[in-house]
């Protein structure tokens, strides 16, 4: 059955595909975002991408399956920006701590941009794993992030993010433990949904 | 001679701020907040409150002219209110780069100097409305259509060039309080209308036949809450009987498919429809206004985010009778919008384009016979979402205005 590209079912599925792809290929200096239902956009270069999204129906929720092919090379080699970010964080005296990114006014301090991109990538794992035909998630804000010091080569961050589900309009706090390495990419080692803020 | 004049006006600016001080005042409790509000009403002191007294946690900054300094300090000391001098001599600031900050932060003295490229508080926007009316009383007036749950006035600007009850266009922004770019674009629209009347042929033609009503802060309680407590607050702030959760989704509270699928009966939910249709004073005020007016021909309700232009219905799959017409208006509007910065919008009926939603604003207005009923979802597509950076306010407002003009022109040229 053909889906209308301008109607929401196609749009939501594309969001899931985009999430999966950004989790696999995103990082502190690279964000893949849905441009329109025929393309995925890599930091300003439009890249053609075909994806198949299979929602598993049934009582037990399991993550939608995504099979994708991307035209051309996204470039997996760690670039200069990644290495710079890595060195900067490794050499911090105190572990990095920050809140409210972006702030109420949409401001992101420039040195926090890689932290934010990393959050997009890691968040997209959570979005991909928890999506259904009746959800449409976006990362609304990083409520707080703290670096966790490690003895090995990885950088580790403990994030609490706010996800916005467009369908229910709910803001859902979510905790996630994120590892990153310039060569090995992003990994979410632990994540848990948090209780809603009571007002 | 020109340089002489320049020197003279520089000197007069300096005199105005010479030895003015800015005091930062900390209130220890509600009683002190009350005292500060008293001070605010003493017009003869010519105080300029940069931050209005609201509650004990929030210090208040006040610019005090030299001649009032002693009186103010005595007042504060008599009432045991703590303060310190934030800026000792404002005139010195004018001379250095901080002058920019002062001009941005202090109350705008005119519609011209108001900063449209930043997010404002409720007080700042309400003051702006009064400035607008004061500057163009023959074109703009302010109507209070009711009060919010917490007693804030619901203000609507009326742009009119005459006539007892001309056919009218209604625009509202900020019905969902966290959608900050919408209130900000509403402020910009107000300025745009008064700037363009008499200059832009098409807008002038619109206002020569029709009135425009603009409600900039449609949900004031929620808006204040996003500034003081929770930036992500969406709903009203009404108290829900038997629940610790507050607020009703004002875009599910209208009498069109009320309580159906696409709204929630859980008071803690973001899409809680409320105990019954029009339970929210913010909604009822508009309903009463629309019914009383009886001559509204186009109704546009503005939200963010996700870059969509939508027409009814949200509560049912049945297409509206003039779906083809609405769709072609939407096509033209979206084309005009994207001509400015390339921003891409999708469009269609609510139920096919976004989701099923019942009790929505434009479903009700359409069923009242207002056949040009539209909803916008402004920038962006999800990257910043509700926290859109302020430097996107003006571009968003400019492109959205182009789309609004298409809709308003159509209403003007197709009277019914």
Contact B353 A167 (CB under 8 A): no
Which CATH number covers residue B188? 3.40.630.10
What's the pTM value of the predicted model, to 2 decimals? 0.80
Same domain, B195 and B274: yes
Per-residue pLDDT of chain A (199 residues; tens, 9 = 90+): 667 777 888 888 888 888 888 888 788 887 777 766 666 565 666 778 888 888 888 777 888 888 888 887 665 556 888 999 999 999 999 999 999 999 999 999 999 999 999 999 999 999 999 999 899 999 999 999 999 999 999 999 999 999 999 999 999 999 999 999 999 999 999 999 999 876 6
Other CB atoms within a 10 A radius of the CB of residue B261 amount to 11
| Residues of B assigned a catalytic role | 377
What's the rounded Cα separation, in Å, for the pair B50 and A38?
49
Same domain, B60 and B145: no
Mean pLDDT computed over B5-24: 62
Other CB atoms within a 10 A radius of the CB of residue B268 amount to 16
Tell me what pLDDT residue B96 has. 55
Q: Which of the residues B229, B268, B355, B378 would you substitute to probe the A interface, choosing the one with the greatest number of A C-beta atoms within 10 Å?
A: B355
Structural domain that includes position B78: 21-88
Contact A171 B270 (CB under 8 A): yes
Same domain, B167 and B279: yes
Tell me what pLDDT residue A5 has. 74
Contact A169 B385 (CB under 8 A): no
DSSP SS3 for A188: strand
pLDDT at B340 over 60: yes
Same domain, B299 and B168: yes
Answer yes or no: is B104 within a domain: no
Mean pLDDT computed over B36-61: 86
Contact B229 A102 (CB under 8 A): no
Mean pLDDT computed over B304-322: 97
Q: What is the DSSP string of A140-165?
A: EEEEEEEEE--SSS-EEEEEEEEEEE
Answer yes or no: is B28 within a domain: yes
What's the rounded Cα separation, in Å, for the pair B55 and B41?
17
Other CB atoms within a 10 A radius of the CB of residue B147 amount to 15
Answer yes or no: is B35 within a domain: yes
pLDDT at B14 over 80: no
Residue B210 near residue B297, CB atoms below 8 Å? yes
Contact A102 B268 (CB under 8 A): no
* Segment 266-295 of chain B within 8 Å of chain A by CB: 268-271
Answer yes or no: is B16 within a domain: no
Which CATH number covers residue B38? 3.30.70.340
What's the rounded Cα separation, in Å, for the pair A93 and A3?
53
More confident residue, A115 or B15: A115
Distance from the Cα of B337 to chain A's closest Cα (Å) equals 17
Q: What's the pLDDT tens digit per position in B166-182?
A: 999 999 999 999 999 99
Distance from the Cα of B170 to chain A's closest Cα (Å) equals 26
* Segment 63-82 of chain A within 8 Å of chain B by CB: none
pLDDT at B97 over 60: no
ipTM value, please give it.
0.85
- Of B41, B73, B88, the residue at which a domain comes to its end is B88
More confident residue, B13 or B73: B73
Closest by Cβ to B346, choosing from A6, A167, A171: A6
Full 3-state SS string of chain B? CHHHHHHHHHHHHHHHHCCCEEEEEECCCHHHHHHHHHHHCCHHHCCEECCCCCCCCCCEEEEECHHHHHHHHHHHHHCCCEEEEEECCHHHHHHCCCHHHHHHHCCCCCCCCCCCCCCCCHHHHHHHHHHHHHHCCCCEEEEEEEECCCCCEEEEEEECCCCCCCCEEEEEECCCCCCHHHHHHHHHHHHHHHHHCCCCHHHHHHHHHCEEEEECCCCHHHHHHHHHCCCCCCCCCCECCCCCCECCCCCCCCCCCCCCCCCECCCCCCCECCCCCCCCHHHHHHHHHHHHHCCEEEEEEEEECCCEEEECCCCCCCCCCCHHHHHHHHHHHHHHHHHHHCCCCEEEEHHHHCCCCCCCHHHHHHHCCCCEEEEEEECCCCCCCCCCCHHHHHHHHHHHHHHHHHHHHHHHHCCC
Contact B390 A105 (CB under 8 A): yes
Distance from the Cα of A150 to chain B's closest Cα (Å) equals 30
Q: Which residue has the tokens 């809450």?
A: B225
Q: What's the pLDDT tens digit per position in B112-144?
A: 999 999 999 999 999 999 999 999 999 999 999
Q: Which of the residues B175, B182, B232 would you substitute to probe the A interface, choosing the one with the greatest number of A C-beta atoms within 10 Å?
A: B232
Same domain, B57 and B156: no
* Phi and psi, residue A107, nearest 5°: -85, 135
First CA to last CA distance, chain B: 59
Residue A90, CA distances (Å) to A151, A156, A188, A189 in order: 11, 10, 19, 20
Same domain, B265 and B362: yes
Answer yes or no: is B347 within a domain: yes
Answer yes or no: is B97 within a domain: no
Q: Which residue has the tokens 């800015």?
A: B22
| Residue B212 CB burial class (10 angstroms; 0-12, 13-18, ≥19) | buried
**Least confident stretch, B23-37, B52-66, B234-248, B393-407:** B52-66
Same domain, B357 and B409: yes
Mean pLDDT computed over B301-327: 98
Same domain, B299 and B382: yes
Number of domains chain B contains = 2
Same domain, B179 and B268: yes
Residue A16 near residue A66, CB atoms below 8 Å? yes
What's the rounded Cα separation, in Å, for the pair B37 and B35?
5
Q: Which residue has the tokens 């990994």?
A: A187
Q: Where are the alpha helices (DSSP H) in chain A?
A: 8-25, 80-90, 113-130
Closest by Cβ to A104, choosing from B231, B268, B352: B231
Closest by Cβ to B348, choosing from A6, A140, A171: A6
Q: How confident is the model at residue B1 (pLDDT cuts 50, 70, 90)?
A: very low
Contact B389 A34 (CB under 8 A): no
What's the rounded Cα separation, in Å, for the pair B407 and B298?
8
Q: Which residues of A touch B383 (CB under 8 A)?
A: 33
DSSP conformational letter for A180: E
The bridge status of strand B211-215 relative to strand B296-304 is unpaired
Q: Which residue has the tokens 């303060």?
A: B83
User: Does A126 lie at the interface with B, CB-CB under 8 angstroms?
Assistant: no
Answer yes or no: is B220 within a domain: yes
Residue B82, CA distances (Å) to B25, B35, B54, B74, B111 in order: 6, 12, 16, 12, 34
Answer yes or no: is B1 within a domain: no
Nearest CA in chain A to B246: A199
Residues 6 or more apart whose CB falls under 8 angstroms from that of B80 comprise B28, B32
Tell me what pLDDT residue B337 has. 98
Same domain, B192 and B335: yes
Residue B117 near residue B393, CB atoms below 8 Å? yes
């Amino acid at each position: 059955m053909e889906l209308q590209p301008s109607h929401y079912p196609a749009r939501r599925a594309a969001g899931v595909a985009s999430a999966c792809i950004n989790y696999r290929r995103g990082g502190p200096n690279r964000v893949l975002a849905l441009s329109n239902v025929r393309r995925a956009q890599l930091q300003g270069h439009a890249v053609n991408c075909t994806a198949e999204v299979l929602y598993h129906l049934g009582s037990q929720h399991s993550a939608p399956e995504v099979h994708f092919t991307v035209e051309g090379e996204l470039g997996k080699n760690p670039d200069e920006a990644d290495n710079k970010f890595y060195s900067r964080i490794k050499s911090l005296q105190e572990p990095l701590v920050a809140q409210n990114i972006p702030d109420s006014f949409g401001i992101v301090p420039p040195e926090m941009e890689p932290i934010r991109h990393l959050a997009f990538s890691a968040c997209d794992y959570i979005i991909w794993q928890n999506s259904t035909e009746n959800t449409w998630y976006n990362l609304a804000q990083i409520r707080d992030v703290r670096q966790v010091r490690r003895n090995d080569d990885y950088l580790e961050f403990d994030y609490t993010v706010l996800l916005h589900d467009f369908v229910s309009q709910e803001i859902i706090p979510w905790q996630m433990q994120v590892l990153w390495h310039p060569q090995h990419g992003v990994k979410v080692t632990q994540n848990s949904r948090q209780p809603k803020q009571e007002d | 001679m020109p340089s002489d004049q320049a020197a003279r006006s520089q000197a007069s600016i300096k005199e105005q701020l010479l030895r003015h001080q800015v005091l930062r005042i900390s209130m220890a409790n509600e009683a002190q907040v009350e005292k500060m509000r008293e001070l605010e009403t003493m017009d003869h002191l010519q105080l300029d409150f940069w931050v209005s007294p609201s509650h004990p946690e929030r210090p208040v900054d006040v610019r005090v002219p030299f001649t009032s300094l002693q009186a103010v300090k005595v007042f504060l000391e008599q009432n045991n209110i703590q303060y310190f001098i934030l800026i000792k001599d404002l005139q010195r600031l004018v001379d250095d780069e901080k002058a920019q900050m002062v001009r941005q932060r202090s109350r705008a003295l005119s519609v011209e100097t108001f900063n449209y490229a930043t997010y404002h508080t409720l007080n700042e926007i309400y003051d702006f409305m009064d400035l607008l009316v004061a500057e163009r009383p023959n074109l703009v007036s302010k109507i209070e259509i009711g009060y919010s749950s917490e007693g804030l006035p619901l203000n609507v600007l009326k742009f009119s060039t005459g006539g007892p009850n001309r056919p009218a266009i209604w625009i509202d922004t900020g019905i969902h309080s966290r959608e900050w770019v919408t209130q900000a674009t509403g402020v910009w629209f107000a300025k745009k209308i008064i700037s363009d009347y008499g200059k832009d042929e098409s807008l002038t033609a619109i206002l020569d036949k029709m009135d425009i009503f603009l409600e900039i802060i449609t949900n004031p309680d929620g808006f204040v809450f996003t500034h003081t407590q929770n930036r992500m607050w969406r709903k009203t702030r009404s108290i829900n009987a038997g629940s610790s959760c507050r607020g009703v989704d004002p875009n599910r509270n209208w009498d069109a498919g009320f309580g159906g699928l696409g709204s929630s009966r859980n008071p803690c939910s973001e899409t809680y429809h409320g105990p019954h249709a029009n339970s929210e004073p913010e909604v009822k005020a508009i309903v009463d206004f629309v019914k009383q007016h009886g001559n509204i021909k186009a109704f546009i309700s503005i939200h963010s985010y996700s870059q969509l232009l939508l027409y009814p219905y949200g509560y049912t799959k049945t297409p509206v009778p003039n779906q083809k017409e609405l769709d072609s208006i939407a096509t033209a509007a979206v084309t005009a919008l994207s001509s400015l910065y390339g921003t891409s919008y999708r469009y269609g009926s609510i139920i096919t384009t976004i989701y099923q939603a019942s009790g929505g604003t434009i479903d009700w207005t359409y069923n009242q016979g207002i056949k040009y009923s539209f909803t916008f979802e402004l920038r962006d597509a999800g990257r910043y979402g509700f926290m859109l950076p302020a430097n996107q306010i003006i571009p968003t407002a400019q492109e959205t205005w182009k789309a609004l003009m298409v809709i308003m022109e159509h209403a003007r040229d197709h009277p019914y």
